[in-house]
Amino acid sequence: MSIFYRILICLGLVVLHYAGFFLPLTEIFLIYILLFNPRWFRDFLNSMAASG
């Protein structure tokens, strides 16, 4: 494997790391819940309300 391919692989890993690090997964998850109001989340909230 040439040094060029090694450098490309290393740069790809760095780019993937920073893309994953800066991606706001929590905000995307909250937007999904607010927009689509999935049944599993409503069931979760109802079970939390019933137990509390």
Is 42 inside a domain boundary? yes
pTM comes to: 0.50
Do residues 41 and 33 lie in contact, with contact meaning Cβ atoms separated by under 8 Å?
yes
2 in any annotated domain: no
In angstroms, rounded to a whole number, what is the distance separating the alpha carbons of residues 15 and 24? 16
Residue 49 lies in a domain: yes
Q: Give the domain range for residue 36.
A: 25-52
pLDDT of residue 4: 92
In-domain check, residue 15: no
Residues in the chain: 52
| Domain annotation covers residue 30 | yes
Q: Once rounded to an integer, what is the mean pLDDT over residues 17-32? A: 80
Indicate whether 17 belongs to any domain: no
In the prediction, which pLDDT does 21 show? 74
User: Does the residue 6 lie in any domain?
Assistant: no
Count the domains in the chain. Answer: 1
DSSP assignments along 20-48, one per residue? HHHS-HHHHHHHHHHHH--HHHHHHHHHH
Reduce the DSSP state of residue 52 to 3 states and report it.
coil
